[in-house]
Amino acid sequence: MNSKTPRFTLITLTSLALLSGCSGDTEAPAGIAPQKFTDALFAVMEADRTVYTRKVVQRLANEEKVIKASEHWSDDKALPLPAQMFRFGSEAVAEKTDAFSYTLQSIWPINDQNSPKTQMERDGLQFVVDNPGKNFYGEETLGGVTYFTAVYPDVAVSPACVSCHNEHRDTPRSDFKIGDVMGGVVIRVPL
Ligand code: HEC
């Protein structure tokens, strides 16, 4: 028995050395996959957007009627629209990082500047309208840079979304219902 113990120890040590030597070659690449990254970003964006619309705009403007929501929020001393809140956030992010960018768009925009500009934006916005509950992912090259581009559905989560859009003088569509996909959030990550 005594003679076997040292040999066992030697084998164990050798296997450990081999294992640790191998681990460097099999490590997963560092960083997070683009789709996981944009999915997580969208979860935060969607939550903030829903909370602002339900707990601030719908409650204070539509139900309690203590303050209006207005495009001219500064002059009117009113609440900024949900789309304006979203853009202010997006602009603030753009000043801090170029790791990603994001916009709110629609194929039925009130503001023409929010219409799709690239073919991938057009395809993605149409896809999220045609396939409720699904997201769109692709890659596009713009100005020599390749991007991972994700498009997520922007859903009418509150009566405020529907009434404001349907009644707006510049809307190209006035039959939105609760639960409809009204547009999409486009998130771009340079690869
Ligand atoms: C009080 C009015 C109002 C409310 C409430 C509102 N919107 Fe909007 N929305 C607008 C206006 C006006 C714009 C264009 C603003 C701009 O780009 O300056 C806009 C922009 C958008 C856009 C970008 C395309 C476009 O139409 O220009 C989407 C998508 C959108 N809204 C969806 C929603 C959803 C979903 C909700 C509810 C979560 C919502 N909106 C709530 C008035 C409203």
Express each pLDDT in 26-48 by its tens digit. 566 678 999 999 999 999 999 99
Please tell me if the CB atom of residue 161 comes closer than 6 angstroms to any atom of ligand 1. Answer: yes
From ligand 1's centre to the CA of 9, what distance in Å? 70
pLDDT higher than 80, residue 4: no
pLDDT higher than 50, residue 15: no
Average pLDDT in the chain:
89
CB atoms within 10 A of CB 7: 9
Q: Ligand 1: which of 161, 163, 166 to mutate, most ligand atoms within 8 Å of CB?
A: 161
Please tell me if the CB atom of residue 79 comes closer than 6 angstroms to any atom of ligand 1. Answer: no
pLDDT digits (tens, 9 = 90+) for 56-68: 999 999 999 999 9
Please tell me if the CB atom of residue 109 comes closer than 6 angstroms to any atom of ligand 1. Answer: yes
Please tell me the residue having the least CA distance from ligand 1 atom 19: 83
Which carries the bigger pLDDT value, residue 6 or residue 117? 117
86 HSE (CA, 13 A, CB side): 25
Please tell me if the CB atom of residue 71 comes closer than 6 angstroms to any atom of ligand 1. Answer: yes
Distance from C-alpha of 179 to C-alpha of 123, rounded to nearest angstrom: 21
Please tell me if the CB atom of residue 188 comes closer than 6 angstroms to any atom of ligand 1. Answer: no
Looking at this protein, which amino acid is placed at residue 19? L
Contacts of 71 (CB under 8 A, 6+ apart): 81, 84
- Region 131-137: mean pLDDT is 96
Share of the chain above pLDDT 70, in %: 85
pLDDT higher than 50, residue 81: yes
Distance from C-alpha of 6 to C-alpha of 89, rounded to nearest angstrom: 66
